[in-house]
Amino acid sequence: MNHTKVGGQYPFLKKGGEMGELIRAKNWANTLVGPIDDWPQSLKTALSILLHSKFPKFLFWGPDLICFYNDAFRPSLGKDGKHPAMLGEKGEDYWGEIWHIIKPLIDQVLTDGEATWSEDQLIPIYRNGAIENVYWTFSYSPISDETNTVAGVWVTCIETTQNILSKQKLEDSKDQLHFAVEAAKLGTWDYQPQTNVFRANKRLQQWFNLPGPDVDPNIAYQMVDEPDRDRVRKAIEWSMQYESGGEYDITYKIIRLDSDEKRTIRAIGRSWFNENKEVYRFNGILQDVTDQVLAEKENKLLSTIVAQSNEFIGMASPDNYVKYLNPAAMKMLGWDDYKNRKIEECVYPEDLPKAKKLIKKLLKQDYFSQEMRFLNEKTGEPFWLQWNGISIRDEKTNKISGLATTSPNIEEHKHAEAQLREAFSKVEESEKRFRKVADHAPVLIMMTDDEGKIRFVNKLWIDFIGTSLKQYLGSDTLKNMHPEDEDAYNFICTPAFARKEEYRVEYRVRRFDGNYRWISEIGVPRFTEDGHFEGYINAAMDIHDIKMQEHQKDLFIGMASHELKTPVTSIKGYTQVLKARYEESEDELLKNSLEIIDKQIRVLTSLISDLLDLSKMKTGGLELNMEIFDLNELIKNIVQEITLINPEFEIKFSEGKGKNVFADRERIGQVLINLLNNAVKYSPRSRRIEIESAFTAKKVKVNVRDYGIGINKENQKKIFNRFFREEGKDETTFPGFGIGLYITSDIIKKHNGTIGVNSTKGEGSDFYFTLPLQQPKT
């Protein structure tokens, strides 16, 4: 058949588009609808409408439901699918995949003659080489033939796949947005100036305790914390001006009414403008950033601390690359930058092997702390760190995510340590030297520590005692003291130890041969440069032989004075007798001689009685006969007596109020005579002597003041010692043994009193003693 010719014959196909051409070109003779020429007019009319419609149309014709469709429908069949094969073929053959859906609809139209309507229905079809989800809105409607029976089904349809997909997409993105808003716990707002309505989402309504989604913007505005309100208002006003570009991003505080607390929020939004540059919308989100702000503050604080710390603080990756160093660390290392540098580069090369081991260990254990030398790159000098390494683990995986360190610089400490070591070795050396000297010295030398424990005893001591050194080190005493001397030793030493003062003491020690020997010991406290007490060093000498000689001498003095006393007393008696007999004589030489003899006898008597007292003191025989007596009375008597013998002296007594004392009358008399006699004796030029008594509730004080030669400062304490006499051209001219004050002070001490002197050389002396005014015990 000639196609062109045929085409020309069928006006209903004219301008029927691609499908019109295809119908015309197809050889219909062998199809179920037969050649075109045999087609009923109703089919041709239907096809004419179909082909000329711009709306997608499909036609099922005849009992076999033969398929026709127009150009508008064609795209819905896709590429390489049913088109053009399905044209003129049975519907069932080509719509197999959807036949179960559409066949009932077709049947419904065929039997009832009524049209159907389906909207956005998913009817997946085969196209583009696959089954595709295709959405349709369609109507099936009947077409009648010449006999008025329904001969076909019109399908007017439109594919809505795109619509549906965009709708779905929109829904999806809406869902996503909603999800994001929910997940981020955002508040959202939308304000429309035209209506002056402020719309808030649920969360914002909760925060602000709003009555509903749409409110007067002023209500929302009131929720802004008072101090921030003005700032927020200005930011909103600015955003709503066209020049701002609509930007709005501000952080401020609100009072959240749901929890009644102040929270910090960040608002991000924008204003929208129409062509007239008028704002028609202002919307955005609010985020509660309180925790974030707090964390940020904390972070800031932490970083300030880290930055200002003078410790070496740093972080590194697990493969040892430095990720952070604080300024102190950079300074210590002398680095300008830490990028692409490794931990190993910080370490002083000599210490590197040790450091590497530590870093390796850190991958297994979580912490190390070790003294380590790091290197200052600029100076090339090492510095000491107390290197603390910490491994940081990922919370979830527990894998090491980094290495960190905060290490104090112990350079100074190390320096001090070295100095100390050096000082120690110096001390050790000097101590060695000292021991050597001490061991060879002809003195017994011992050292104790601040607790009184023996720390050193020289060789002489050990030889002297005859035991091994070990026995004494660390103990309190040598434990060889004569038991009888312990009290005297403690009496002197205990207060000296307590006051950390120098002391001198004599006591007996048992020697290696079992004999007790007198030693004289002097102890000197030791102090460090900064005044810290370190103990005593004491040196002692064996004075046993001297002591024995002294004893002999004392015995001799005792004996001699005793023996002298009788003849002197006798001479004294006869002198008195002679004086009385020749009182009226005119022989002046005789009278003067007797006077001189009498005076000298008195001196002699007093010397002998002093000597006797001395030996009594030595043997412990000087005992007190205590009684109550009137001290002022005693003083008056003695002053009278002295004046009688020394009429050239004017002795002035200032009598204190009070009188009775409890003491040995005779001995106190002896004390007064001694002091007054000295005042007379040591006043070669002055004739004035003052004596004074002063009573308080507890004691009486007596002063004897002269204007004589006075005493050197350094000798003022010594004059109370036995046999001490000041030396000088004056002093030697005065007779005496230097024992009067010794006895005097002994008497006063025995009374529990005190004695002393204030004197200036060349101006005179002021001797005083005190006696306690205690009542006799009955």
Give whichever of 505 and 709 is closer to ligand ADP, judged by the CB atom. 709
Computed over its alpha carbons, how large is the radius of gyration of the chain?
66
The H or E element containing residue 401 is: strand 400-407
Map tokens 């870093």 to a residue.
359
What does the chain come to in residues? 778
| 691 touching ligand ADP, by CB under 6 A | no
- In sequence order, what are the beta bridge partners of 660? 630
Region from 35-43, 51-59, 335-343, 702-710 binding ligand ADP, contact rule CB under 6 A: 702-710
Give whichever of 43 and 607 is closer to ligand ADP, judged by the CB atom. 607
Which of 265, 82, 71 lies closest to 186 in space, CA to CA? Answer: 265
Write the binding mask 519 to 558 for ligand ADP: x where contact by CB under 6 A, - elsewhere.
Answer: ----------------------------------------
| DSSP character string of 191-209 | EETTTTEEEE-HHHHHHHT
Question: What is the closest distance, in whole angstroms, from the C-beta atom of residue 713 to ligand ADP in the complex?
Answer: 13
Question: What is the closest distance, in whole angstroms, from the C-beta atom of residue 692 to ligand ADP in the complex?
Answer: 15
Which of 731, 647, 717 lies closest to 683 in space, CA to CA? Answer: 731
Burial class (CB within 10 angstroms; exposed 0-12, middle 13-18, buried 19+) of 324 = middle
**Strand, coil or helix: 413:** helix
Query: How many other CB atoms sit within 10 Å of the CB of residue 755?
Result: 20
Question: What is the closest distance, in whole angstroms, from the C-beta atom of residue 560 to ligand ADP in the complex?
Answer: 17
Give whichever of 521 and 613 is closer to ligand ADP, judged by the CB atom. 613
Question: What is the closest distance, in whole angstroms, from the C-beta atom of residue 682 to ligand ADP in the complex?
Answer: 3
| 725 touching ligand ADP, by CB under 6 A | yes
Pairwise CA distance, residues 485 & 159, whole Å? 132
The H or E element containing residue 80 is: none
Pairwise CA distance, residues 182 & 229, whole Å? 27
State the number of CA atoms in the 13 A half-sphere of 157 facing the CB.
30
| 311 touching ligand ADP, by CB under 6 A | no
Question: What is the closest distance, in whole angstroms, from the C-beta atom of residue 748 to ligand ADP in the complex?
Answer: 13
Of the candidates 279, 719, 755, 771, which one interacts with ligand ADP according to CB under 6 A? Answer: 719
Question: 571, 603 in Cβ contact below 8 A?
Answer: no
Give whichever of 314 and 740 is closer to ligand ADP, judged by the CB atom. 740
Question: What is the closest distance, in whole angstroms, from the C-beta atom of residue 721 to ligand ADP in the complex?
Answer: 9
Region from 317-325, 418-426, 431-439, 708-716 binding ligand ADP, contact rule CB under 6 A: 708-716
Region from 77-85, 328-336, 401-409, 723-731 binding ligand ADP, contact rule CB under 6 A: 723-731
Pairwise CA distance, residues 762 & 682, whole Å? 10
Question: 372, 384 in Cβ contact below 8 A?
Answer: yes
Of the candidates 726, 746, 747, 771, which one interacts with ligand ADP according to CB under 6 A? Answer: 726
Question: What is the closest distance, in whole angstroms, from the C-beta atom of residue 753 to ligand ADP in the complex?
Answer: 17
Q: What's the count of helices (H) and strands (E) in the chain, helices before strands?
A: 20, 30
Write the binding mask 146 to 185 for ligand ADP: x where contact by CB under 6 A, - elsewhere.
Answer: ----------------------------------------
Pairwise CA distance, residues 353 & 344, whole Å? 10
Question: 739, 746 in Cβ contact below 8 A?
Answer: no
Cα distances (Å, whole numbers) of residue 569 to 6, 543, 735: 196, 38, 20
**What residues numbered 728-767 form the site for ligand ADP, per CB under 6 A?**
731, 736-742, 765
Question: What's the distance, CA 691 to chain centroid?
Answer: 69
Of the candidates 536, 706, 747, 769, which one interacts with ligand ADP according to CB under 6 A? Answer: 706
> How many residues in the shown chain lie near ligand ADP by CB under 6 A?
21
Phi, psi of 201 (to 5 degrees): -75, 175
Give whichever of 535 and 764 is closer to ligand ADP, judged by the CB atom. 764
Give whichever of 362 and 614 is closer to ligand ADP, judged by the CB atom. 614
| 702 touching ligand ADP, by CB under 6 A | no
Question: What is the closest distance, in whole angstroms, from the C-beta atom of residue 468 to ligand ADP in the complex?
Answer: 47
**What residues numbered 437-466 form the site for ligand ADP, per CB under 6 A?**
none
Give whichever of 59 and 671 is closer to ligand ADP, judged by the CB atom. 671
Question: What is the closest distance, in whole angstroms, from the C-beta atom of residue 751 to ligand ADP in the complex?
Answer: 18
DSSP 212: S
Question: What is the closest distance, in whole angstroms, from the C-beta atom of residue 509 to ligand ADP in the complex?
Answer: 32
**What residues numbered 666-685 form the site for ligand ADP, per CB under 6 A?**
678-679, 682
The H or E element containing residue 511 is: none
Give whichever of 521 and 610 is closer to ligand ADP, judged by the CB atom. 610
Phi, psi of 659 (to 5 degrees): -150, -45
Question: What is the closest distance, in whole angstroms, from the C-beta atom of residue 687 to ligand ADP in the complex?
Answer: 14
Region from 129-137, 468-476, 526-534, 720-728 binding ligand ADP, contact rule CB under 6 A: 720-728
Give whichever of 525 and 710 is closer to ligand ADP, judged by the CB atom. 710
Q: Which amino acid is at 371?
A: E
| 690 touching ligand ADP, by CB under 6 A | no
Question: What is the closest distance, in whole angstroms, from the C-beta atom of residue 622 to ligand ADP in the complex?
Answer: 16
Percentage helix, strand, coil for the chain under 3-state DSSP, each rounded to 5: 45, 30, 30
| DSSP character string of 227-249 | HHHHHHHHHHHHHTSGGGTTEEE
Cα distances (Å, whole numbers) of residue 662 to 81, 197, 626, 700: 148, 113, 6, 11
Write the binding mask 631 to 670 for ligand ADP: x where contact by CB under 6 A, - elsewhere.
Answer: ----------------------------------------
Question: What is the closest distance, in whole angstroms, from the C-beta atom of residue 442 to ligand ADP in the complex?
Answer: 33
| 204 touching ligand ADP, by CB under 6 A | no
Structure tokens at 676: 């007054």
Question: 630, 658 in Cβ contact below 8 A?
Answer: no
Phi, psi of 507 (to 5 degrees): -160, 170
Question: What is the closest distance, in whole angstroms, from the C-beta atom of residue 525 to ligand ADP in the complex?
Answer: 30
| 689 touching ligand ADP, by CB under 6 A | no
Give whichever of 388 and 606 is closer to ligand ADP, judged by the CB atom. 606
Burial class (CB within 10 angstroms; exposed 0-12, middle 13-18, buried 19+) of 146 = exposed
Question: What is the closest distance, in whole angstroms, from the C-beta atom of residue 440 to ligand ADP in the complex?
Answer: 40
Please report, as ranges, the residues that interact with ligand ADP according to CB under 6 A. Answer: 678-679, 682, 706, 708-711, 719, 724-726, 731, 736-742, 765
